Chains A and B, each alone.
Chain A
Amino acid sequence: MNKLKIGIIGMGRMGITHYSIINPHPDIEIISVADTTNVVVSILKKYLKNIEIYKDYRELIIKSKPDAIIVCTPPDLHSPILELAAEHNIHTFVEKPYTVCYEDSIRLSKLFESKNLINQVGYVNRFNDVFHYVKEIIDDGVIGDVIRFKSEMFSNTITSKDEGKGWRGKHESGGGVIFEMASHAIDLINFLLGKPIKVSGTSINKIFSKNVEDIVSSTIFYNNGINGTIYVNWSDTSYRKPTNKIELFGSKGKILADQHSLKIFLNEANTKYNYINGWNTVYITDVFRSVPFYVRGNEFTGQLYHFIDLILGKKNNSISSFNDGADTQFVINEMFKEI
């Protein structure tokens, strides 16, 4: 079998990571990378002799003719890159946030689907072993009907004054805590409960960033009466690593979870899952799924291997499609209308 030819566009932090994760995959071959930054390109040129290196993503797509691309550029470049990829029938994995424009996110999702091209957004929490397990037990009705939720995310990413010169400092290019981090907290709720219908009461704080927000909170509503809140802060120095926390209150009990463990409180024991009535704890060590090559966590490998499996037809259950990305973009878009 011919190996699947992969191109990577954007060799920043995520591009560098994705390269390492997917390069050892036995069924693929990285044939090209594109980046505008001299430092990264010059280092790659020296050591990766068999790989075509471009400064312009258009050249990578048109000249190197990959079967699939991984897009890790600043978010405002996503739409034109995805557009061109679809035109050339290239399967595409794009980092979050999927686009900076809600209309684009719907249009591109339809475009990729109409051409039967595999499309995935890098909402990595969908591949986290604990959150995957939470999804399973919620779908199985373990806590009954979900009534109320809370989805929070914290990190110590922005902790000094930011003048807003880079892409992260402007909304137009996809910067700010809503695009960069709240997108994860929102997507996690969408993953568990589906697409909401309404957003209300969005408020923000600026601490260090000049042009964008550092904290956001908002309330999200579903048409079946479920509602809950989002709270995201990327200037919280009490967190060593980015952390997602969710709480789901249901008619039979509740779940508290983060990337490493979950606590389940049940009004009555559940024999299928071996939970007692009262508090139960499940750790990542109880629910992890090993991955073929580990770099930054099982979820990072899991999501890229899933993308390859979808292309090769080994799986057909899309877990984080452009359509899912568009649902998250809907909430982001509604939040922006309020601030």
Chain B
Amino acid sequence: MQKIDKIVFGDNQFFGINHMSQEKAQQLTEKFHDINNIYKVYNLVYDNGIKAFFLNSNDRAIEICNHFKDNNKKFPDISFYVSIPYPYKYANMVAEKGIVSSMNDILFKNNTIGGAVGMIAKGSMSVISKDAIKLMQILIDLEMKMFSGLNVKVIFLQNIITDLILGYNIKEVFEEYYNYVKKKYNSIPGLITQNLPYTLNKMKEWGIKDMVICSSFNKIGYLMSPDINSYLDVIKSNNKNDYQLMAMSTLASGAIKPDEAYQFLENKNIQSIVFGASSKNHIEDTKQLIEKYI
């Protein structure tokens, strides 16, 4: 398996996501309303030698992807780590219309979500509705459209989706996801999960390996189910040739001071860290700390 980058720059801060405070989230949304402020941050990050960017497939990511495609001479050597799908855009739709008409809209109408017209050669609604795998493949293609033309190193299944499907205990879905991402997109298949021990054990049990698994990993055990000790055990004994591990939420939304947070990750058998920041100092400091401890 190709090695993943040690430092990956995340995008949550650009989209008003802060798990700790809705007020902070709102301030960030205002700051990054002008997309040029996002590009300024990417320039700082790139100038700092970080060449791996994490993107969620929300609507604004389309614009960001186009920016990188248009400026590929300026950023010739970037790898993208993408997470699909962005669940909120579907969740509201399902709440408003119900599951069946949402599926109809997503798959057959040229709406803002993806514009699937022309991608439905794989079958009609009645066929798709009986075949979750085919449905999944169509949704992956829809979500991946915005990233086409970029160097996508890892395709992650977003955590709400990973954990939701994991609960159903259906091996085929993960197997087919793995195969499809590998064959069609030539990327490393990845899973984001808030249940790392459970996920790792299931993948081992099912014999699905050569993946990247991304999970919250922080000193206070925030968003780490079932608990921090189970995480420590499973990470310690992990074989990184089978599963490369990427840590997110390392600062627990700001609850842990950076130095303390990254020191905790020292010698923990973690291959990569994704972090978000918006100022020059913060980006430089975080990079230095990660390099010091990891």
Q: Which residues of A contact B (CB under 8 A)?
A: 12-13, 16-17, 19-24, 37-40, 42-43, 46-48, 156-160, 162, 166, 168, 240-241, 243, 258, 260-261, 283-286, 288, 290-296, 301
Chain B positions within 8 Å of A296 at CB level = 160, 164
Assess whether B163 is in contact with A283, with CB atoms less than 8 Å apart. no
- Mostly, the B contact residues are helix
B20 in complex: contacting residue of A17, A42, A284, CB < 8 Å: A284
Contact mask for chain B residues 164-188; partner A; CB cutoff 8 A; 1 contact, 0 none = 1111111011000000000000000
Question: With the chains together, A13 CA to B100 CA distance in Å?
Answer: 11
Assess whether A21 is in contact with B167, with CB atoms less than 8 Å apart. yes
Assess whether B96 is in contact with A284, with CB atoms less than 8 Å apart. no
State which of B49-57, B68-76, B220-228, B237-245 sits at the interface with chain A: B220-228
6 A–B pairs (Cβ distance < 8 Å), ordered by A: A23-B168, A39-B100, A157-B96, A240-B25, A258-B22, A261-B20
Q: Taking the complex as formed, is B281 at the interface, i.e. its CB lies under 8 A from any CB of chain A?
A: no
Q: Say how far A247's CB is from chain B's closest CB, in angstroms.
A: 14
A292 in complex: contacting residue of B21, B23, B225, CB < 8 Å: B225
B221 in complex: contacting residue of A13, A43, A261, A290, CB < 8 Å: A290
Q: Say how far A83's CB is from chain B's closest CB, in angstroms.
A: 25
Question: With the chains together, A156 CA to B167 CA distance in Å?
Answer: 28
Chain A positions within 8 Å of B254 at CB level = 285
B100 in complex: contacting residue of A37, A168, A295, A301, CB < 8 Å: A37
Question: With the chains together, A12 CA to B101 CA distance in Å?
Answer: 12
Q: How many A-B residue pairs have CB under 8 A?
A: 121
Chain A positions within 8 Å of B121 at CB level = none
The B105-159 residues at the A interface (CB cut-off 8 A) are 129-132, 135
How extensive is the interface on chain B, given as a class? 35 or more
Contact of A47 with B92 at beta-carbon distance under 8 Å, contacts A24-B198, A290-B224 already known: no
Q: Taking the complex as formed, is B16 at the interface, i.e. its CB lies under 8 A from any CB of chain A?
A: yes
Contact mask for chain B residues 237-260; partner A; CB cutoff 8 A; 1 contact, 0 none = 000000000000000111100000
Q: Taking the complex as formed, is B277 at the interface, i.e. its CB lies under 8 A from any CB of chain A?
A: no
List 14 other contacts, CB 8 Å, given A22-B167, A24-B169. A12-B98, A20-B163, A38-B129, A47-B168, A156-B92, A162-B96, A258-B22, A261-B21, A285-B220, A285-B253, A288-B222, A290-B224, A295-B164, A295-B167
Could you say which of B160, B168, B169, B222 has the most chain A C-beta atoms within 10 Å of its C-beta?
B168
Assess whether B226 is in contact with A293, with CB atoms less than 8 Å apart. yes
Chain B positions within 8 Å of A288 at CB level = 222
Q: Say how far A77's CB is from chain B's closest CB, in angstroms.
A: 15
Chain B positions within 8 Å of A295 at CB level = 160, 163-164, 167
Q: Say how far A72's CB is from chain B's closest CB, in angstroms.
A: 12
Question: With the chains together, A158 CA to B94 CA distance in Å?
Answer: 11
Q: Which residues of B contact A (CB under 8 A)?
A: 16-17, 19-23, 25, 88, 91-92, 94-100, 103, 129-132, 135, 160, 163-170, 172-173, 194-195, 198, 220-228, 252-255
Q: Say how far B52's CB is from chain A's closest CB, in angstroms.
A: 26
Question: With the chains together, A294 CA to B222 CA distance in Å?
Answer: 12
Contact of A260 with B130 at beta-carbon distance under 8 Å, contacts A39-B99, A48-B170, A286-B255 already known: no
Contact of A47 with B255 at beta-carbon distance under 8 Å, contacts A16-B164, A241-B88, A284-B20 already known: no
Q: Say how far A2's CB is from chain B's closest CB, in angstroms.
A: 20
Closest to B164 in A: A20
Q: Say how far B109's CB is from chain A's closest CB, in angstroms.
A: 13
Question: With the chains together, A284 CA to B135 CA distance in Å?
Answer: 36
Contact of A47 with B172 at beta-carbon distance under 8 Å, contacts A42-B129, A288-B222, A290-B221 already known: yes
Q: Which 9 A-B pairs have the closest CB atoms?
A: A20-B167, A285-B255, A294-B194, A294-B225, A39-B129, A292-B226, A42-B130, A20-B164, A283-B20
Assess whether B99 is in contact with A37, with CB atoms less than 8 Å apart. yes
B99 in complex: contacting residue of A13, A157, A258, A294, CB < 8 Å: A13
Chain B positions within 8 Å of A48 at CB level = 168, 170
Q: Say how far A50's CB is from chain B's closest CB, in angstroms.
A: 10
Question: With the chains together, A292 CA to B167 CA distance in Å?
Answer: 12
Assess whether A43 is in contact with B164, with CB atoms less than 8 Å apart. no
Closest to B228 in A: A290
Assess whether B88 is in contact with A240, with CB atoms less than 8 Å apart. yes
Closest to B25 in A: A240
Chain A positions within 8 Å of B170 at CB level = 47-48
Contact of A291 with B225 at beta-carbon distance under 8 Å, contacts A157-B96, A284-B19 already known: yes
Assess whether B223 is in contact with A294, with CB atoms less than 8 Å apart. yes
Assess whether B168 is in contact with A46, with CB atoms less than 8 Å apart. no
Closest to A162 in B: B96
B168 in complex: contacting residue of A13, A20, A292, CB < 8 Å: A20
Q: Say how far A61's CB is from chain B's closest CB, in angstroms.
A: 23
Assess whether A293 is in contact with B100, with CB atoms less than 8 Å apart. no
